[in-house]
């Protein structure tokens, strides 16, 4: 049922997570703040994968147990219901794990400067630029990123001729 290549990759990640836990709590590394911070950062990057892996394994085990109970006449209905529920959840977990295993772009953690300019269209273009700016800043807030306006030229009717802002 479970994808063996996926499970093999997940075992390696779990082993690395356990090793990082050991390295972070190792008394020999306690004085090397840079090294401990590096280990903690790496652990934080794989923490969600490890947690989802544990839930994924528990779901696979639960499915196997439910399928084993299908032969028991007293538990067959409950086992069918449990198996059906887990068969719906497991593929989504696999998809989430595959997405989480995709390599990260090294530029993902960098700041960005965004420039929005109103094009042809007069006041409506300026209002659209303001709406776009609000959309980006709210998106940044939802992801707990900070945004700071570097330059803004408003139109006087609630819009922007140009707005430049930084997302950190």
Residue-range domain boundaries for the chain: 4-101, 112-167
Average pLDDT over residues 88-117: 90
| Listed range (29-33, 51-55, 66-70) with the worst mean pLDDT | 29-33
State yes or no: pLDDT of 125 exceeds 90. yes
N residues, the chain:
168
Which residues, other chains included, contact 113 with Cβ-Cβ below 8 Å and sequence gap of 6+? 150, 164, 165, 166, 167
pTM of the model: 0.63
Q: CA 80, CA 69: separation in Å to the nearest integer?
A: 9
Helix axes 76-101, 33-68, angle to 10 degrees: 150
State yes or no: pLDDT of 63 exceeds 70. yes
| Listed range (90-94, 119-123, 160-164) with the worst mean pLDDT | 119-123
Q: Distance between alpha carbon 44 and the CA centroid of its chain, in Å?
A: 11
**Record: fold of 112-167:** Alpha-Beta Plaits (3.30.70)
* Per-residue confidence (pLDDT) for residue 1, from 0 to 100: 52
């Amino acid at each position: 049922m479970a994808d063996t290549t996926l499970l093999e990759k997940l075992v390696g990640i779990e082993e690395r997570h356990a090793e990082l836990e050991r390295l972070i709590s190792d008394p020999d590394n306690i004085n090397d703040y840079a090294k401990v911070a590096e280990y903690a950062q790496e652990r934080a990057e794989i923490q969600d994968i490890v947690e989802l892996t544990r839930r994924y394994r528990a779901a696979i085990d639960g499915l196997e147990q439910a399928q084993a109970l299908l032969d028991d006449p007293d538990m067959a209905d409950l086992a069918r219901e449990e198996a059906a529920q887990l068969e719906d959840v497991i593929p989504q977990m696999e998809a989430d794990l595959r997405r989480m295993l995709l390599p990260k772009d090294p530029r993902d953690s960098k700041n960005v400067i965004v420039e929005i300019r109103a094009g042809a269209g007069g006041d409506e273009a300026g209002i659209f630029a303001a709406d776009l700016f609000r959309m980006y800043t709210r998106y940044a807030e939802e992801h707990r990123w900070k945004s700071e306006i570097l330059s803004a030229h408003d139109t006087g009717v609630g819009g922007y001729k140009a707005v430049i802002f930084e997302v950190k």
